[in-house]
Chains A and B, each alone.
Chain A
Amino acid sequence: MYDIIIIGSGIIGSMLAYDLSRFNVSVCVLEKNVEIMNEVSSSNSGLVHVGYDPEDGTLKAQLNLIGAKRYPQIAKDLNVDYKQVGSLLVSNSMDEHEALLKYAQRATQRKIDVKYIQQDEIRRMEPNISDSVLEALFFPTTAIITPWQMGFACMNFAVLNGVKLFRQTKVIGIDKNEYYTVHTTQGVFESKCVINCTGLNGVDVAKYHDPNSKHQLEFRKGEYQVSDIRDESYLNHVIYPMPSKLGKGVLALKTIEGNLMFGPTSYVIDNRYDFSTTVNGLNEVDSKISQIIKPLAKNRMIRQFAGVRPGSVTKDFIIENKDGFINVIGIDSPGLASAPGISEYVIESFLKKDFELESKMNLVDFKWKKHLSSNERNELIKDDSRYGRIVCVCETISEKEIMNAIHLPVGARSIKGVKRITRPGSGRCQGGFCESEVVRILARELNVDMKDIPYDNDVFLTPLGGHDETR
């Protein structure tokens, strides 16, 4: 019997687990995939928007600001990457001048740092900006994070401090008596309170609790292109076009690792799990990006991907408490930026009413291990030579770092997990050289055979001498 069951370990579930682990409440997290942070939370822009975009009076507006304010401290406490690269909101047409000023005013009202800049200064700040950009707003506090790094660090802290994580555990039904009974593929869990933060499945799980729920999600796909890390200096800031009804638009943004990303597009899809890239989508990225920056050569692009956002038709977050069943759904942009704000809101507005939230004493600290500098690596090799055995040449990642990723409190159990935590497979060879070695190390460290290691959620290797498919 738990105090709180959190269903879903995307950024919302992970942030809630992080915050709640600091109180004397028993919490468990149910995740249907092998790894946490596997769906919406790992297929987005990785941006902590400053918060001028959402309309006044929305939860989005309120919680984006709180989230953006909390992130620097969280990043410091967990030692995760958080970089205020700043952003330019650019306009190509004097018709948009009014709208641009409106955003400037809104930003000022919301106490967000903003500066209006014109032609020459734009080009000084951003030499590769498109020639058609006329004017811009500069937001110095726009930040970038690596979403799965943030989520993994939060969940590792949470698990170290008492939160229980159950993987490959999919919710299939929910009953309520005096407490909640959550039925899953791995058995039954009971709690006083349930938090539903299941992203793409938000409404399905809401309906397990209340079949008459009127909530409706609209799934929008966004396609991205990713460039080689050597193009990092092509842009200094994140570049936003003027937003439209469809959303923030196709951005030019940077990642912590140094890749450039262009995207996302935004169109409604029927199949919420359709993470496919399309010729049209990628062409749309090409044409829209050329309106804000001078485009990069095609052969610099190493990868394409798509994410799906579960937006509510109400165009705002749905965060409600129904007798101890808390829905946190319809979390699309600015979901990532708002996550710490959403967590705080749920705790302050709902959980503090039902639970005596006493702070835990003797919290265990957790610090994320970042990419090693040559000096750091040299020191570490003295204690463990496996820091010097480089497995992923493209990203310079050693055997020991991969082992560390596997042995974290919330450790990697799949190729995908290793890739998210330490990056092998993210570079120019996309795992061509190192993948089998990563599987070998996973199998050894988890004490199983290579054939038992999943790629994402499913195993994929057949030992030689197995069944004959040719017959």
Chain B
Amino acid sequence: MKHELTCIVCPRGCLIQLVKDEEHYICTGNQCKRGEVYAIQEVTEPRRMFTTTVQIVGSKLSRCPVVSSSAIRKEDIFKIRDILDGLVIHAPIQVNDIIVENILGTGIHIIASRSIKKDA
């Protein structure tokens, strides 16, 4: 099975070729090891950092921006989005507060990406 993809780890954007050889991958075209790691991850289990906003009450602001503590599986994006769409959180919030712990049992948390004061 052959894959070709552009690495996005750094601005170089190496064009990487990945060939599956029985159990392991042979990676060419990358100029560093990070590229190989990215390429293999991308073809086996693509992952993405996820950001969105969550409804917040008790503050002047109505939305709290959140971010995943690490990259989630690409296939989980919409499921996680749906969970977060249904949430309402309460001010005050501190940046990096865990909004949802261990989302979908992934071990990844959804955390607040800013602090929001309590404000009637």
Contacts and interface: CB of A to CB of B under 8 A. Distances in A.
Interface of A: 464-465
B107 interface: no
B86 A465 contact: yes
Contacts of A465: 55, 85-86
Interface in B62-81: 63
B64 to A, nearest CB: 12
Interface string B74-104: 0000000000011000000000000000000
A366 B63 CA distance: 41
B110 to A, nearest CB: 15
A464 B63 CA distance: 10
A254 B55 CA distance: 47
Interface in B44-60: 53, 55
B41 to A, nearest CB: 25
A238 B93 CA distance: 58
Contacts of B53: 464
- Chief secondary structure at chain A's binding surface: loop
- Chief secondary structure at chain B's binding surface: strand
Size category of the binding interface on chain B:
under 10
Nearest to B63: A464
A-B pairs with the 4 shortest C-beta distances? A465-B85, A464-B85, A465-B86, A464-B53
A464 B55 CA distance: 9
Nearest to A450: B62
A465 B55 CA distance: 10
A351 to B, nearest CB: 52
A1 to B, nearest CB: 47
A207 B33 CA distance: 79
7 contacts: A464-B53, A464-B55, A464-B63, A464-B85, A465-B55, A465-B85, A465-B86
A464 B85 CA distance: 7
A465 B84 CA distance: 9
Contacts of A464: 53, 55, 63, 85
A464 B86 CA distance: 10
Contacts of B85: 464-465
A465 B85 CA distance: 5
A461 to B, nearest CB: 13
B93 to A, nearest CB: 18
A345 to B, nearest CB: 53
A282 B111 CA distance: 51
Contacts of B86: 465
Nearest to A465: B85
A470 to B, nearest CB: 8
A465 B53 CA distance: 11
Residue from B53, B85, B86 whose CB has the most chain A CB atoms within 10 Å: B85
Nearest to B86: A465
A426 to B, nearest CB: 27
Nearest to A440: B62
A465 B63 CA distance: 12
A465 B83 CA distance: 10
Nearest to B87: A465
Interface in B5-52: none
A98 B14 CA distance: 76
Nearest to B85: A465
Contacts of B55: 464-465
Nearest to B53: A464
A464 B53 CA distance: 9
A36 B62 CA distance: 33
A123 B85 CA distance: 65
Nearest to B84: A465
A354 B53 CA distance: 64
A465 B87 CA distance: 10
B87 to A, nearest CB: 9
B4 to A, nearest CB: 27
A464 B87 CA distance: 11
B85 to A, nearest CB: 4
B56 to A, nearest CB: 12
A21 B41 CA distance: 76
Nearest to A471: B78
A451 B7 CA distance: 41
A26 B95 CA distance: 62
